[in-house]
Amino acid sequence: MTYEFIIAFGKQAIETMLMVSLPVLGFSMAVGLIISVFQAVTQIQEMTITFVPKIVVTFLAMLLFGSWMLSKLTFFLHQVIVSIPNISG
């Protein structure tokens, strides 16, 4: 196992993790920002106003992007399993 292999594997793992988590985190962050602006304008400081919409949007994003996320993770896992014989101790 060479340093180049380890670095390439780590880079690919981080890229896959970022790609898979980006849709859910992006939508959740956008809704949080919108709600924060709404709270600042109306001066309503209730914690449940931010919590419930973020949870709903997170679940909706997982429903919309779930199959794409699963295909990306499956492709990465396939590459990991295929590369196991190439790893020499």
pLDDT tens sequence across 62-89? 999 999 999 999 999 999 999 888 776 6
State pLDDT tens for residues 5-35. 889 899 999 999 999 999 999 999 999 999 9
Q: Given this model, what pLDDT does residue 50 score?
A: 84
88 located within any domain: no
pLDDT of residue 89: 60
In a domain, 58, yes or no: yes
- The parent domain of residue 70 ranges over 3-83
Region 35-60: mean pLDDT is 89
Taking 90 as the threshold, does the pLDDT of residue 60 lie above it?
yes
32, part of any domain: yes
Domain for residue 39, yes or no?
yes
Instruction: State the Cα–Cα distance between residues 49 and 80, nearest whole angstrom.
Output: 42
DSSP 43: T
Instruction: Please check whether residue 77 lies inside any domain of the structure.
Output: yes
Q: Which residue is listed with tokens 């709270």?
A: 39
Q: Is 10 exposed, middle or buried (0-12, 13-18, 19+ CB in 10 A)?
A: exposed
